[in-house]
Structure 1
Amino acid sequence: MQVLAISPDRYVEHQNLLKQMHQLRANVFGGRLEWDVTITDGGERDQYDDLNPTYILATFGGNKVVGCARLLPAAGPTMLERTFPQLLADGSLHATSAMIESSRFCVDTTLPAGRGGNQLHHATLTMFAGIIEWSMANGYDKIVTATDLRFERILNRAGWPMTRLGEPVAIGNTVAVAGVLPADQASLKEVCPPNYRSTLPFAHRHSERSAA
């Protein structure tokens, strides 16, 4: 299993992987979790996919997507402030240029890829490591996200606890919560699974509208 980053300039090159990513999101968010999401041609997408995000993907065998996340600078627009402001203590993220927002995180846990010592799937830990590694390489030291209480417990088990940005709120069929996660060497060391493989490009400048 390896992790790679797909920035806007690589969308065409990796269009097959991105198609698999949207299908995985549809299967997880629309199927297993039964969230109210938009699925078109078998893939889930929303307006934040139109803002030139960088996608972090975990792949198996080099051609099968087993995990994904979407990264956009927290300077905005962000899902947290525009879609889920009720998760923030005062409705504002108070973003800085060193914050990146992660959204649409999911993994295919049906893949028989083994589990780590803390019983978390290798795809989950690979994704955590990839997000942290990319964030550090691109000048970000904090990762903000909206998730649910179940996933907050997974972060705790991985040794990467989230600091809440507000109280949990019932949204649809789940209880959601917003938080901030550190992007640093200590966190990377804590979550990094055995035989972690990265193909992430190293530091380049980031803009306020693109995580490229």
Structure 2
Amino acid sequence: MQVFTISPDRYVNHANHLSQMHRLRAAVFGERLEWNVTITDTGERDEYDQLNPTYILAVTGEERVVGCVRLLPAVGPTMLERTFPDLLSSGSLNASVTMVESSRFCVDTSLPAHRGGGRLHLTTLAMFAGIIEWSMANKYDEIVTATDLRFERILNRAGWPMKRLGDPVTIGNTVAVAGTLPADRESFARVCPHGYRSINAEDHSRQIRSVA
């Protein structure tokens, strides 16, 4: 399995991976979790996909996308401030240039449940490590996100606890909460699964993260 980044300049080269990502998001957020999301024949997508985000994907050796997340600078339009402001106790994110927003994190739960250190799914931990590594490389030291209480517990189990930005709020059929996560070497060391390593791709404009 490989974990790699797709920046806007690489969308065309990774069109198949991105198509799979949108279908995975539809399966997880629309079908399994039954969130109120927009799904078409091409999968799940929203207005924030139009803002040239960077995506981090986990892909098997058979080129199957099994994990994804979307990253956008927090100083720009964010899901938290535009869509979920009720999750912010102050009503504002107070973003800085060293903060990035993470959204639409999901992992294919039909995969065999290989565990990292007996804790969580290997793909989940590898995605966490990839998010932190990418953030540090791009001079972000804080990650902000809106998620649910279930995922907050997963973060705690991974040793990457979230600092809440407000009280949990019921939204649709879930209880949502917003918070920040540190992007630093200590956090990376805690979540990084055994066998995770960074290698240079043939195209040196990106790094591929490989999990043995």
Q: Fold-level match, TM-score > 0.5?
A: yes
Question: In which range does the TM-score fall when normalised by the shorter chain?
Answer: over 0.9
| TM-score normalised by L of structure 1 | 0.92
Note the alpha carbon deviations across 1:127-155, whole angstroms, 9 max, x for none.
Answer: 00000000000000000000000000000
- Aligned position for 1:168: 168
Structure 2 regions of 5+ residues with no counterpart?
201-205, 208-212
Shift of 1:115: 1.0
Q: Is the 8 A contact 1:87 1:165 kept in 2?
A: yes
Aligned to 2:190: 190
* Deviation by residue 1:24-78 (Cα, 9 ceiling, x = unmatched): 0000000000001111114000000000000000111151111000000000200
Name the residue aligned to 1:105.
Answer: 105
Of 113-122 and 95-104, deviating more is 113-122
Shift of the 118–157 alpha-carbon distance from structure 1 to 2, 3 Å rule, reads farther
Higher normalized contact order (CA 8 Å, seq sep 6+, divided by chain length): 1
2:95 alignment counterpart: 95
Assess if the C-alpha contact under 8 Å between 2:3 and 2:56 holds in 1.
Answer: yes
Structure 1 unaligned regions, length at least 5: 203-212
Residue 92 of structure 1 and its aligned partner are, at CA, apart by: 0.2
In 2, Cα distance between the equivalents of 1:11 and 1:42? 16
Residues 152-208 of structure 1: per-residue CA shift (max 9 Å, x gap): 000000000000000000000000000000000000000001111445836xxxxxx
Kindly tell me: are residues 199 and 79 of structure 1, through their superposed partners in 2, closer, same or farther at Cα, counting changes over 3 Å? farther
Partner secondary structure for residue 93 of structure 1: coil
Runs of 4+ in 1 over 2 A off after TM superposition: 197-202
Aligned residues: 202
Superposed CA deviations along residues 91-119 of structure 1, whole A, max 9, x for unmatched, are: 10000000000000000021115112243
Q: TM-score scaled to structure 2, two decimals?
A: 0.92
Q: Secondary structure at the match of 2:49?
A: helix
RMSD of aligned Cα (Å): 1.3
Q: Where does 1:138-177 land on structure 2 (aligned, <5 Å)? A: 138-177=138-177
Pair 1:197–1:16, CA change in 2 (3 A): farther
Q: Percent identity?
A: 74
Partners of 1:19 and 1:163 lie apart in 2 by: 33
